[in-house]
Amino acid sequence: MQLDAYSQWRRYIALIDSDESTGLYIVVSRLQVPTFLHFLSLSLPVKAFSSVQHIAHRFRMGRSSVPIVDILLLFCLVAVSEAGYLKYKDPKQPLDVRIQDLLKRMTLEEKIGQMTQIEREVATPDVMKKFSIGSVLSGGGSVPAPQASPETWVKMVNDLQKGSLSTRLGIPMIYGIDAVHGHNNVYKSTIFPHNIGLGVTRDPLLIKKIGEATALEVRATGIQYAFAPCIAVCRDPRWGRCYESYSEDPKIVRAMTEIIPGLQGDIPANSKKGFPYVGGKEKIAACAKHYLGDGGTNKGINENNTLLSYNGLLSIHMPAYLDSIMKGVATVMVSYSSWNGKKMHANRDLVTGFLKNKLKFKGFVISDWQGIDRITSPPHANYSYSVQAGVSAGIDMIMVPYNYTEFINTLTYQVKNKIIPMSRIDDAVTRILRVKFIMGLFENPLSDVSLVNQLGSKEHRELAREAVRKSLVLLKNGKSAQKPLLPLPKKAGKILVAGSHADNLGYQCGGWTITWQGLGGNNLTEGTTILDAIKQTVDTETKVVYNENPDANFLKSNKFSYAIVFVGEPPYAETYGDSMNLSIAEPGPSTINNVCGYIKCVVVLISGRPVVIKPYLPKIDALVAAWLPGTEGQGVADLLFGDYGFTGKLARTWFKSVDQLPMNVGDKHYDPLFPFGFGLTTDPTKY
């Protein structure tokens, strides 16, 4: 409701208090009954307002003998005595008072609307208003326009927000996006290394800074919520999401939860255990995902079954959630996967019993994309059951994302028919409102363009470059320890750069970059390819020759001082990345064999996980695992040419053969090619 309209209504009430006859005359003469009822609906709890509506209906139908003046007087007196003013809109009121004041005013339809998250493709201001939608998201690659500017993003988010604010109660929506390695959906944003590389750094302070930078870039586009961090403990690199995991070791994953206070702000010293915290307009709500055991599925198959004892589940996959909750994480996302055959989206014992009751988590639990549909096999086979099972398990916000009316209608029916108790709905809405109030969305629902210069800023790109330097692992350096090849000399006659990944920004960034599955090529966003970084780093007299896959004749006819070969995996995400062989994509193997058979060579692997490398190792002089470094390829050149030294240590075991998998540090028959924690070091070169 507009502030001036509410103020006018308050003046009517004041007139009634001071002069009953004059006040009633003004109300009767200036207010239509429907308008009056709208004002009154804001002042009364739902039950009281329903009674008022009933009386008004009887009057309009001619079934009431009570004079309209008396009815209006009654309405006014009740409104004044019941509410006085809207407590939930007063930031000076205690949090619980605001939540309960708003909750008691809400209808069932408004509550279920708050539990619904829809995709921006189907969201409009009218939809937000009509269904009281609580949240909107951008799925991977869902953008307001190709190469959209931050101003375009802000306008889109604000337009939807205005739809929410025009509802009867004016509850702001929260907009979510997968900002999993920087604000990765957005053109010209800073793309940080994926988590598999960040785990190598073992540097919580660096990870916190990345969280701070990401929060600023997300807020630059008007968005307030990121589905990050992924705190999965990947136990099998065949999993297509392994690059979203910091490590196979729960201790490293726990340390990396320091990204949460980076995204949200440092939790105040006097905060209650389990309560969410988001510290102002430059911070965003975070989301710990995917609860629980997503990184432990059988054979690494995405969304599969984690076969593990209860103690194993708690000791490997649960610890990082405890840290996240202690750091005030606002939301937790449930995993598609199952634990010993039980779908996590339907696991009430772990979602409500453990997360909410035992760990005292007070933020809200959100489903994954169409997550409740996948409770059944095939998905959506019994939607009524899926809604009942998911909501009853303790999921508070449902990522629908398209068929929202089906969800709303199904859940409404189940509550009205007492299949799902109203107490479960109230718990869900209480948690959602708690996060929105804590974030300050009621006071500052609309975004501005004051932070647009943060997107892809020089400072953030320098931070990403530092992260790249600290994330690379040197696995081999020379045919013998006495003759290291790295760091490479900047001054040389002619050097060869080869391989499919040398001049490909999309391959550097991997999946979840601009689109869901990622893209190849150099046109997806702004950044520095590794080839360009090499050209900028070597001496001006050094000739750099690039040939993606040179043949023997080319190699023989040129006198190269040395070669750098960049090979690895193409971009992928989730199930599309599941791999049972973990081989280097062609023509990678042939490039290694051709080049390293003729020239002294460094092979740099651009991949989301360890891949099969043992067969090629004898030919390779030096080997570097660069993971998925993101847009700042200069960080790779910084190490290759000795401006900085290698320091990274493997946060994952590197297998000899896929037949050994799964294999993790501490296993009984542990026989890796490169063990967990391995990494050669070099000293910076003084030029």
Q: For residues 24 and 73, is the Cβ–Cβ distance under 8 A? A: yes
Angle between helices 68-82 and 46-60 (to 10 degrees): 170
* Secondary structure of residue 289 in the 3-state scheme: strand
Read off the tokens for 147: 């190469």
Q: Which residues contact 630 (CB under 8 A, 6 or more apart)?
A: 181, 182, 190, 191, 192, 193, 194, 464, 467, 468, 508, 509, 527
**What would you report as the CA-atom Rg of the chain, rounded to the nearest whole angstrom?**
29
Return all residues near 24 (Cβ < 8 A) that are at least 6 apart: 16, 69, 72, 73
Residue with tokens 């997550």: 371
CA 121-124-125 angle, 5° bins: 155
Q: What is the pLDDT of residue 224?
A: 98
Q: Which regions of the chain are under pLDDT 50?
A: 1-6, 9, 13-30, 80-83
Amino acid at 77: L
H-only helix segments in 182-249:
195-201, 204-220
Residue 480 confidence (pLDDT): 85
Q: Fill in the DSSP letter of residue 66.
A: S
**Bond prior to 487 in cis (omega within 30° of 0):** yes
Q: What is the pLDDT of residue 686?
A: 80
Which DSSP category does 180 fall into?
S
456 class by beta-carbon count within 10 Å (0-12 exposed, 13-18 middle, 19+ buried): buried
- Find out whether 521 and 505 touch, Cβ atoms under 8 Å: yes
The widest CA-to-CA distance across the chain, in whole angstroms, is 106
Task: Tell me 423's DSSP state.
Answer: H
Based on the residue annotation, tell me whether 574 is a catalytic residue of this protein. Answer: yes
**Kind of pairing, strands 135-138 and 116-119?**
parallel
627 touches 196 (CB < 8 A): yes
In angstroms, the CA 293 to CA 557 distance is: 54
Given a contact cutoff of 8 angstroms between Cβ atoms, the answer to whether 139 and 176 are in contact is: no
| Residue 294 annotated in active site | no
Reading the block at residue 515, the tokens are 């689109």
What is the predicted pLDDT for the residue at 482? 86
- If one counts every other C-beta atom within 10 angstroms of the C-beta of residue 556, the result is 10
The whole-model pTM stands at 0.91
List, in order, residues 6 or more apart from 374 with CB less than 8 Å away: 303, 336, 343, 345
Instruction: DSSP letter for 214, please.
Output: H
Number of CB atoms found within 10 A of residue 438's CB: 20
Confidence (pLDDT) at 74: 53
Residues 265, 261: Cα–Cα separation, whole Å: 4
Cis geometry, peptide bond prior to residue 475 (ω within 30 degrees of 0)? no
Choosing from 178, 249, 294, 368, which is the catalytic residue? 368
- How far is CA 289 from its chain centroid? 8
The pLDDT value recorded for residue 53 is: 57
**Active-site pick, 323, 532, 569, 574:** 574
What pLDDT is stored for residue 50 in this prediction?
A: 59
CA–CA dist 433, 102 (Å, integer) = 9
Reported in sequence order, the residue ranges of 293-401 that DSSP labels E, i.e. its strands, are 305-306, 331-334, 338-339, 342-343, 364-366, 398-399
Q: How far apart are CA 412 and CA 109, in angstroms?
A: 7
Q: How far apart are CA 133 and CA 123, in angstroms?
A: 9
* Cα distance between residue 43 and residue 56, in whole Å: 16
Between the two ends of the chain, the Cα-to-Cα distance in Å is 67
Residue-wise burial string across 252-281, b where 16 or more C-beta atoms lie within 10 A, e elsewhere: bbbbbbbbbbbbbbebeeeeeebbbbbbeb
Contact assessment for residue 637 and residue 465, using Cβ atoms and an 8 Å cutoff: no
pLDDT for 61: 55
For residues 627 and 579, give the distance between their C-alpha atoms in angstroms, rounded to a whole number: 16
- Residue 492 is predicted with a pLDDT of 97
